[in-house]
């Protein structure tokens, strides 16, 4: 119970940090996906905004998962190091794994709120319904978050300044979102390019999440991709643990 209280207290501290220090960013992180849903649904939907929205909602949630890992964790760790906050945390009796677990819990909570808002707006405005098994949706969403948090931690481990971390996060997040079946169907790319894009962990996660959440597919159908996402998670964790420094 003591460890659980520490974990919850650290997670609450993360919320306080972001809301007090960067409350405007919290607002935009919730509003921008809804804005993109409207813009892309009407711009690309043609005569069927429902079909387009069904494709876009999991893609937008997937893009937020990428952003949570690369920006929300990677850039944040670089900021904490630059402001000497990581050193202060290291000197406290809090176990290091609790600190990183609180980051995952914080980002998952914010991500769940983003997903809920998108699902509600999609259902009311575009009559899109999530039909997948809630447990399966939770499992794939948690795995995706773990994958990109671990990869984002690599950024926080090797980059020393906030500016550099933000630049790397931008270079990774924006292209991956547009090339990973989030906004634009991969089928519209040439076959050779599409085959390469399907090797990206972001594509594997977004496609699996879309199939499970919007079409009711089982986790077993995406077993190979789930295994690859687990490999990415382990690799990211090992690399970040090898190079991470508190100061």
> Domains of the chain: which residue ranges?
2-243
**More reliable by pLDDT, 156 or 135:** 135
* Mean pLDDT of the 167-173 span: 86
Residue 113: what pLDDT? Answer: 85
Residue 136: what pLDDT? Answer: 94
Average pLDDT, the chain: 85
Which range has the worst mean pLDDT, 30-44, 84-98, 120-134, 224-238? 84-98
pLDDT at 153 over 80: yes
**3-state per-residue secondary structure call for the chain:** CHHHHHHHHHHHHHHHHHHHHHHHHHHHHHHHHHHHHHHHHHHHHCCCHHHHHHHHHHHHHHHHHHHHHHHHHHHHHHHHHHCCHHHHHHHCCCCHHHHHHHHHHHHHHHHHHHHHHHHHHHHHHHCCCCCCCHHHHHHHHHHHHHHHHHHHHHHHHHCCCHHHHHHHHHHHHHHHHHHCCCCCCHHHCCHHHHHHHCCCHHHHHHHHHHHHHHHCCCHHHHHHHHHHHHHHHHHHHHHHHHHCCCC
* pTM, full prediction: 0.86
Which range has the worst mean pLDDT, 6-10, 113-117, 125-129, 230-234? 6-10
Residue 133: what pLDDT? Answer: 92
* Mean pLDDT of the 211-218 span: 93
Give the best-scoring range by mean pLDDT among 90-99, 152-161, 200-209: 200-209
pLDDT at 185 over 80: yes
pLDDT at 93 over 80: no
Residue 162: what pLDDT? Answer: 82
> Which backbone phi and psi does 14 adopt, to 5 degrees?
-65, -45
Residue 220: what pLDDT? Answer: 93
Task: Give the angle 166-172-178 at the CA atoms, nearest 5°.
Answer: 125
To the nearest whole percent, how much of the chain has pLDDT over 70?
A: 94
Residue 178: what pLDDT? Answer: 86
């Amino acid at each position: 119970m003591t460890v659980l209280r520490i974990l919850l207290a650290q997670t609450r501290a993360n919320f306080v940090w972001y809301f007090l220090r960067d409350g405007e960013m919290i607002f935009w992180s919730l509003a921008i996906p809804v804005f993109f849903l409207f813009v892309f649904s009407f711009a690309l939907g043609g005569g069927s905004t429902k079909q387009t929205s069904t494709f876009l909602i999991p893609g937008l949630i997937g893009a937020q998962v990428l952003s949570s890992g690369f920006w929300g964790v990677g850039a944040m760790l670089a900021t904490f190091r630059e402001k000497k906050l990581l050193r202060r945390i290291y000197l406290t009796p809090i176990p290091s794994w609790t600190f990183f677990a609180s980051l995952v819990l914080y980002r998952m909570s914010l991500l769940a709120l983003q997903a809920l808002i998108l699902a509600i707006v999609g259902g009311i405005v575009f009559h899109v319904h999530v039909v997948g098994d809630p447990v399966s949706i939770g499992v794939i969403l948690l795995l995706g978050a773990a994958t990109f948090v671990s990869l984002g931690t690599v950024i926080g481990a090797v980059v020393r300044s906030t500016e550099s971390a933000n630049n790397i996060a931008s270079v990774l997040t924006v292209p991956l979102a547009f090339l990973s079946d989030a906004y634009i169907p991969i089928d519209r790319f040439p076959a050779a390019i599409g085959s390469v894009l399907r090797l990206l962990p972001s594509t594997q996660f977004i496609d699996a999440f879309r199939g499970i959440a919007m079409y009711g597919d089982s986790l077993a159908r995406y077993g190979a991709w789930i295994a690859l996402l687990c490999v990415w998670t382990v690799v990211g964790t090992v690399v970040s643990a090898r190079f991470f420094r508190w100061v």
